[in-house]
Amino acid sequence: MKSVEVSIHHSKCEENICQTDSICLHTFSDLSHVPPAAFVYLLKECYICGSHKATHKFRVLQQQVTQALYNSPQPDASTFVVQCLYLLPSLGPPYTEGFSHLLLSSLRRVKTSKSVLSDSLDARHHAVQLSLDILAGFVPHEDRILIKVLEIYDLELKDFGEAICGLEHDGMLDIAKAHMEHYIFNFIKAESYMTAVTLLERFQIHLSSESLLVKMMQNNQFKAAEKWATFMGKPMLCLLVQTYLDMKMLKNAYNMITRNNLKQEFPYVYHLYKESSLKKLAEKGCWDIAESRTNKDRQLLEYLVYLAMEAGYMEKVNELCERYSLQGFAKIKVPDATACEAHFLDSEKLVLDEIIWIDELDGLLSATNHIEGSKLVGIDCEWKPNYEKGSKPNKVSIIQIASENKVYIFDLIKLYENEKEVLNSCFRRILCSPNILKLGYNLQCDLHQLSESYGDLECFRYYEMLLDIQKLFNERNGGLSGLAKKILGAGLNKTRRNSNWEQRPLSQNQLEYAALDAAVLLHIFYHVRGQPHSTSREVECKVEWKSHIVSHIDNTNRKKSS
């Protein structure tokens, strides 16, 4: 019995939907006898019906409404839309703003058609009255709807003057301006600065006071402040730039100077901003990007050399001096390297006996045999950074595997080219061994990159016994260097992180950087496990590490699912 009732209920629902569809179809095909109230009601019904997602339904409905406004609404499309806007607030918040934007956007499309004439005087009068009612709070629409009405109906101050005073009034513009200023001050009081500025700009009302700019800046309304200053002219723009500089917002100041041709007023800001950008890039290790951003400006190049010297990155200093014929830097005293390095870990502090470069068959086989005898190794990868937005990352260039006191650095590019089968076999013995616990930091990234770079090698599809050190801690900032500093008392020098890992031979500094990234994983693990090998400070750190071991990963399945 219940199933019969359900089927009857479903059939009635389907019947109602069909009736609604047919009514809407008829309504949208001819608006000549459809009042705004009926149109607004059917608009809501059309939106509610159907199982499509909201965005899809909205787009389809907008196309239908645009077409409907061509079909003889009375007295005309512009007036018809104003009448609908009076009614839409009765639908409530979920529909009012969305349908208002829909109707106004549809009307804009209709009005851009060459076959449609400009608004009638009657339509403009209705639009002005609607705007006044919104401003007075009689019709509850959002500020954005008010601005759209003003734009689409192209309403001017004289239109408001005529509506307030009548056509034959000498001082109607002054009266309309006073009315509009009253509403604008209300928006300012309510901290709706962008609306206030848009109205001031639209009706060409100039406020000489600087207090409005100050209020907007204090409330972090920077877009509104920029719009207001641009409207007011150069003195206000200069005040805005100076305010940005006082607030240490150098980028905003630089953008306003560039956009408004104020370089003569602020000649020092250009280099100040460029130097600040170079410093941020240098701190991230993005030396190649920093070099390109200098645009071969000698002053900026020399500043970049000083940054490289400060970071102890002497090969970059020499490279820049040679490439751009920069003189005099050899005589400058470099900061004491030992004092600088005291804050960072090095091979001596990590008791690292050997860093061994592997790029040929014998070395590969020997290294594999040694690593297979280890119970614990640290693994890391490096690849040349790619600075082109949207482009694919470069191939993994090297993989570092650290055992007790040795680090093997494998030249994957050369080994893949010359010893592909042996490389695959050797790395399968290491990466698939259940007897070797393999440590990494943010392992998912490295494993994904290896799979993307050398997807035809089986050794980078399957892994056994992995432990991601990152997942043992709640540390979100500072990366591996920050974690090393917290656990071991000193971090890693990340100056060469984004260097060219495809150059051959790698510099000694690059080799040491790569080796330390893998070796430090073992020392962090020793500390976690409470072994005496650690060089750490006395830091309380109780971590349940065994539960984080991943016994098996199949990258082929992950690749298919992604």
Q: Is the pLDDT of residue 212 over 50?
A: yes
Least confident range from 154-158, 402-406, 423-427, 542-546: namely 542-546
More confident residue, 185 or 476: 185
For the stretch 241-288, pLDDT in tens is 999 999 999 999 999 999 999 988 998 898 899 999 999 888 878 888
Q: What is the pTM of this model?
A: 0.60
**Spatial distance between the Cα atoms of 306 and 295, rounded to a whole number of angstroms:** 17
pLDDT at 18: 43
Judged against a pLDDT cut of 60, whether residue 5 lies above it is answered with no
Average pLDDT value for residue range 96-112: 90
Task: Give the CA count within 13 Å in the CB-facing half-sphere of 376.
Answer: 16
Give the pLDDT confidence score for residue 537 in this predicted structure: 40
Kind and range of the H or E element at 48? helix 36-48
Cα dist from 277 to 19, 256, 287, whole Å:
64, 16, 12
Asked whether the predicted pLDDT for residue 225 surpasses 70, the reply is yes
User: Could you tell me the end-to-end alpha-carbon distance of the chain, in angstroms, rounded to an integer?
Assistant: 47
DSSP state of 344: B
Render 201-234 in DSSP notation, one character per residue.
HHTT-----SHHHHHHHHTT-HHHHHHHHHHH-H
Task: State residue 554 phi and psi, 5-degree precision.
Answer: -115, 100
- How far is the C-alpha of 233 from the C-alpha of 208, rounded, in Å? 11
**What integer is the mean pLDDT of 527-549?**
59
357 forms beta bridges with 409
- Does residue 489 sit in helix, strand or coil? coil
Q: Which of 30-39, 269-278, 489-498, 524-533 has the highest mean pLDDT?
A: 269-278
The more confident residue out of 169 and 512 is 512
CATH label, 354-561, candidates 3.30.420.10, 3.40.50.720, 3.40.1390.10, 3.30.1490.100: 3.30.420.10
Position 511 scores a pLDDT of 93
% of the chain at pLDDT higher than 90: 48
Per-residue HEC secondary structure of 318-354 comes to HHHHHHHCCCCHHHCCCCCHHHHHCCECCCCCCCCCE
Least confident of 142-156, 160-174, 505-519: 160-174
Query: What are the structural domain ranges in the chain?
Result: 2-155, 209-267, 285-338, 354-561
CA–CA distance, 149 with 153 (Å, rounded to integer): 6
Which residues, other chains included, contact 132 with Cβ-Cβ below 8 Å and sequence gap of 6+? 160, 163, 164
Q: What is the total residue count of the chain?
A: 562
- Say what the pLDDT of residue 160 is: 92
Residue 27: half-sphere exposure toward Cβ, Cα within 13 Å: 20
Q: Which phi and psi angles does 275 have, rounded to 5°?
A: -65, -40
132 phi/psi in degrees, rounded to 5: -65, -40
